[in-house]
Amino acid sequence: MLIAKLAFRNILRNRRRSLLTLLSMGGGFFLLCLTLSMSEGSYSNIINIFTQDHTGHVQIHHTNYLERPSLYKTINNLDSILAEVEANPQVIGVTPRIYGPSLAYGKNKTFPAQVIGIDTKREALTTRLKSKVKQGQYISSDISKEGYFEAMIGYSLANNLALTVGDELVLISQGIDGSIANDIFLVKGIVGDANSYEKMNVYLSLPAMQQFLSMGQGENSQAHELAITLAHQQLAQPFAQTLQKQLEVSELTVAPWQVVESSFYNSMQADKKGSYVSMGIIIFIVSIGVLNTILMGTLERTREFGVLKAIGTRPLSLFNLIILESLILAVISCLFGLLLSLPVCYWLATSGIPMPEPIDMGGIVFDTMLGEVSWYVVIVPSVVVIASTLLVSFIPAIRAAQISPLKALQAT
């Protein structure tokens, strides 16, 4: 108790210096909190755009399908797996997909295209594909009045084939039974733009794709992929691990988006490490200022420490006194920085900062840098500021504990 009283008295003795120290550490906390909020908020926004665009938070495939895609690596018992996944309260949407490389023919030109069979209703609930239809309409699973299944095609493919809404599209591929797959489809809509993920894709309804590739339908339905959207992106990895155990099917692999899009995830992590360097520089500058303040205060009180040692004060008590003074300053600085940063972080999380040049990400415009308000954004700067302050306080504290009473009393 006495040590605490002495610590508060020493802090209040030189109020100007203590105030400058508080402002320095509080400013460091504010900058760290702001940097983390912008970093986490912007990355969270980008991940949401990326995963809700087409990837989903979790995907299910046949083993090794991502490394070596094949028409024959299918997910069987599709209906039972869909029912099990949809029963999970964390799942917002799940959609099956069938992939097949094909040759697309329109007017007088041919181009290679990636044909994707989708469950039209589930896809609209799981991704943003429906909102990216720029011309025409979103497809249905019904046969059109002309007797053809409907198709949506990517913007670039439509331009290359000189096709528009209402035209006929011919697709040629290989069926799963080894036969030559070919059929005529009616262009119902055009998806995305020249920079989007869908630019060279063709979308068919799941029944149309199953018929086109001679795949099983009804109770024998098959798919190459199940894309799952969860309530929050942070649930992806634990959800994937839990679902992998629940399925108990060795031929299937459940992977979070971090694995499915590993190149994107690794580049994002590398960029985050760059921001940590900036935060480290901020902490270094603040720590030097704190070290200077505490060391100066210790040197000014050399005679006092000598008197305390002479009357029997233990070295550990002097060490604890210096550390406690630093801890009190650090805690008050964090509270001060928190009062400054919370309103700013809340504004960033709700309004954000408009970007001077919007970034097109897969056909979705990323034009606002958003912040984030979370325990992580608050706790990490607090731990860093307090830990760095205590660390730099060890040198003055050890000096005060080891001081000789005779030399201290002789000091001028």
At 387 the three-state DSSP class reads helix
Q: Do 199 and 330 fall into the same domain?
A: no
Q: What are the helix and strand counts (H, E) for the chain?
A: 13, 12
In a domain, 242, yes or no: no
User: HSE of 312 in the Cβ direction (CA atoms, 13 Å)?
Assistant: 0
Dist CA 192 CA 130 (whole Å): 10
In this prediction, residue 144 carries a pLDDT of 61
What is the per-residue DSSP string for 138-153? Answer: ---SSBPTTS-EEEEE
To which residue do tokens 């290359």 refer?
160
In this prediction, residue 365 carries a pLDDT of 61
Structure tokens at 303: 């005679």
Average pLDDT over residues 60-89: 88
> pLDDT tens-digit profile of 10-54?
777 777 777 877 888 888 888 888 888 888 887 888 788 888 888
User: HSE of 148 in the Cβ direction (CA atoms, 13 Å)?
Assistant: 19
Q: Do 26 and 76 fall into the same domain?
A: no
In a domain, 389, yes or no: yes
Residue 282: which domain range?
A: 2-51+265-410
In a domain, 63, yes or no: no
Q: 392: which residues sit within 8 A by CB, 6+ positions away?
A: 287, 288, 290, 291, 294, 326
Q: Do 108 and 7 fall into the same domain?
A: no
Q: Do 83 and 184 fall into the same domain?
A: yes
Q: Do 10 and 45 fall into the same domain?
A: yes
Single-letter residue type at 321: L
% pLDDT > 90, the chain: 14
> pLDDT tens-digit profile of 216-254?
666 667 889 999 999 888 889 999 998 888 887 778 899
Is residue 363 scored above 60 in pLDDT? no
- Kind and range of the H or E element at 214? none
In a domain, 147, yes or no: yes
Residue 12 CA, chain-centre distance (Å), reads 44
In a domain, 234, yes or no: no
Residue ending a domain, among 204, 223, 242, is 223
Q: Do 173 and 309 fall into the same domain?
A: no
Angle at 136 between CA 132 and CA 139, to 5 degrees: 75
In a domain, 58, yes or no: no
Residue ending a domain, among 203, 223, 243, is 223
DSSP 349: H
Q: pTM for the complete prediction?
A: 0.77
Question: At 313, phi and psi to the nearest 5?
Answer: -70, 135
- Kind and range of the H or E element at 400? helix 375-402
Q: Do 43 and 77 fall into the same domain?
A: no
Bridge partner residues of 204 (DSSP): 117, 151
Q: Do 112 and 40 fall into the same domain?
A: no
To which residue do tokens 């063709």 refer?
202
Dist CA 94 CA 126 (whole Å): 6
Dist CA 132 CA 117 (whole Å): 17
* Rounded alpha-carbon distances, angstroms, from residue 164 to 66, 114, 134, 159, 205: 33, 18, 11, 8, 19
> pLDDT tens-digit profile of 324-336?
888 888 898 889 9
- Kind and range of the H or E element at 2? helix 2-13
In a domain, 254, yes or no: no
In a domain, 182, yes or no: yes
DSSP 105: E
Residue ending a domain, among 171, 197, 223, is 223
> pLDDT tens-digit profile of 293-315?
777 767 777 777 777 777 777 87
Residue 163 CA, chain-centre distance (Å), reads 38
Q: Do 95 and 161 fall into the same domain?
A: yes
Average pLDDT over residues 178-190: 88
Dist CA 27 CA 39 (whole Å): 18
Angle at 90 between CA 89 and CA 91, to 5 degrees: 90
- Indicate the number of domains in the chain: 2
To which residue do tokens 């029997």 refer?
312
Q: Do 270 and 404 fall into the same domain?
A: yes
Is residue 361 scored above 60 in pLDDT? no
Q: Do 90 and 218 fall into the same domain?
A: yes
DSSP 216: -
Dist CA 142 CA 154 (whole Å): 21
Q: Which of 128, 98, 146 is nearest to 191 (CA)?
A: 128
Q: Do 128 and 269 fall into the same domain?
A: no
